[in-house]
Chains A and B, each alone.
Chain A
């Protein structure tokens, strides 16, 4: 734990500076890729809090991703709500959904939790596909948000550089909030639930409440990433709810290293470009994703960051 903390604080500042400079220094296509990486990283970090820290494997997070996306899209498109209000509505929607479905799921044992979250995800996917009047089905809906005003400056989020810094701001905020949570007593309790739920219960902690807290926080940030993605693409479709979206963070987290917060970012940064290029070359690249999932526990159960941390500890 301590090694991770040291490592991340050492690495975080130069990386933040680098990200700040990259916004203006990068060519357009790489900047666009970096924006995607930051958005997916928010999703991956939110997932890490749930799976890596508190050992709750949910395969239904696409539900929150999709609700976040449509939570921004629909108010903006149908009611002409501004960007900030729409985002607030999206996050409130995710919070409400998590508070309704979460209590049902978090009381259950490990296996039941996974299954019920798969069912959550599938129900939302099927509904999004069939309610085309609301979601536009798999064709989706397009929308635009009006320029936002900060004090006396007004700018459009569709300006590439503005979009970069807009996303970066959220990326940094989410990173520091989650980092703070993981180092707080709440984070410690979640880790102890991961290590032994039974013992944590005996220590007098209300395990269910802590697990629900992790679930809700994760849901809100997942919704945020969905919202940012929809804003950036000016588009959302029922495919945002698909099981593939739910599975992606598992791979990012496992490759990068579960429970390290930085690991999932590394996973995203590594896999997103690969996915772009390979999927352009070979349409069945999901086979590679599948094989990674089958083999990862055999070859790299701790992921890249887990490996680095264990090296540093020995050193």
Chain B
């Protein structure tokens, strides 16, 4: 009797653990969408985009509006990245361009942008957190674990987007130009690559990815005008551990850090779990000041 009780408890714990890790992986894929944009915007242009969290917020909030005003959540997922991508190109061209190449100045300008977006969201969306209904209220049974279908959908879309990004960068001529400009801006320019258009495209792509992350996360998290702060902090930690400008490092690190934080959150508060990630980051920085996969010196 005692043994079966223990077994049941263990089984329950295992199931809970599996569920938590699965959640962590889904969250890692969303984080990777956000952090990758952050990482390659830095790698290419030397811009530390503090407003990246707010672009994520915009993605989520626009999806909310699409659901409540237009009646379709799915339309929101499709439109929010486009709208935020367009906004990104405007921001790059008119706000950030004048200070490019000076990381500290780009931080100041993008903090300014972040404030403006935050307040604009506060003014329209309001200061109260909102929760969205599950757009896919189905539960999938898989190997004895029940898992919400929507999260599987999120994982699938994120993986598709990440694969799309990879093949865009490696299989198209535009992607080749971006990678060339990332390696050596002046040489790329001398070879006839229109570097300034490349910058606009890259920034807007990064913004769209962040917004896609926000749109996908919208039904999973609480919507709040400051929701970008949390993901920005996480994305920065991921990007620093992985190495600024390294896409592989960013991806691998988010797959390690997010499940780790989720599992730790079973035992300690999420904030304390974040402190653990921070300690991991500090340790990595002490041993490898450029992160695990970092090569770029700036």
A residues neighboring B (CB under 8 Å)? 51, 55, 57, 59, 104, 107-112, 114-116, 118-119, 122-123, 126-127, 129-130, 243, 247, 250, 254, 284, 286-287, 289-298
Contact = CB atoms under 8 A, between A and B. Distances in A.
Contacts of B115: 247, 286-287, 289-290, 293
Contacts of B95: 294
Given A104-B285, A108-B289, 13 more contacts: A57-B107, A59-B50, A111-B298, A112-B244, A114-B103, A114-B104, A254-B108, A284-B119, A284-B123, A289-B115, A294-B95, A294-B116, A297-B109
A201 to B, nearest CB: 14
A291 B271 contact: no
12 contacts: A55-B104, A57-B107, A59-B107, A59-B111, A119-B237, A119-B278, A126-B233, A126-B274, A130-B272, A287-B120, A294-B112, A295-B112
Judged by DSSP, the binding face of B is helix
Contacts of B286: 104
Contacts of A292: 112
Contact of B50 (A107, A118, A123, A126): A118
A108 B285 contact: yes
B109 A110 contact: no
Given A111-B48, A119-B237, A243-B229, A290 B116 contact: yes
Contacts of A298: 98
Interface residues of B, number: 45
Nearest to A296: B108
B247 interface: no
B274 A114 contact: no
Contacts of A109: 297-298
Interface of B: 42, 46, 48, 50, 95, 98-99, 103-105, 107-109, 111-116, 118-120, 122-123, 229, 232-233, 236-237, 239-240, 244, 269, 271-272, 274-275, 278, 281-282, 285-286, 289, 297-298
Given A115-B48, A254-B108, A123 B113 contact: no
B37 to A, nearest CB: 15
Contacts of B236: 115, 118-119
A171 B48 CA distance: 34
A294 B285 contact: no
Judged by DSSP, the binding face of A is helix
A243 B111 CA distance: 10
B108 A250 contact: yes
A292 B95 CA distance: 11
B108 A123 contact: no
B48 A114 contact: yes
Nearest to B294: A112
A81 B105 CA distance: 43
Contacts of A129: 271
A127 B298 contact: no
- Of all A-B residue pairs in the complex, the 10 with the closest CB atoms, nearest first, are A293-B112, A290-B115, A111-B103, A290-B116, A294-B112, A57-B104, A130-B271, A290-B112, A122-B233, A284-B119
A196 B95 CA distance: 27
B240 A112 contact: yes
A297 B98 contact: yes
B281 A57 contact: no
B99 to A, nearest CB: 5
B271 A293 contact: no
A96 B51 CA distance: 31
A58 to B, nearest CB: 10
Contact of B103 (A107, A110, A126): A110
B109 A111 contact: no
Contacts of B99: 297
Contacts of B122: 284
Given A55-B104, A108-B289, A111-B42, A289 B112 contact: yes
A86 to B, nearest CB: 26
Contacts of A296: 108
A111 B114 contact: no
A110 to B, nearest CB: 5
A111 B244 contact: yes
B50 A294 contact: no
Contacts of A123: 233, 274-275, 278
A284 B50 CA distance: 20
Nearest to A123: B278
A136 to B, nearest CB: 16
A290 B298 contact: no
B240 A104 contact: no
Nearest to A57: B104
Contacts of B298: 109-111
Given A115-B240, A286-B119, A293 B108 contact: yes
Nearest to A250: B108
Contacts of A116: 240, 285
Nearest to A111: B103
A192 to B, nearest CB: 18
B24 to A, nearest CB: 19
A291 B46 CA distance: 22
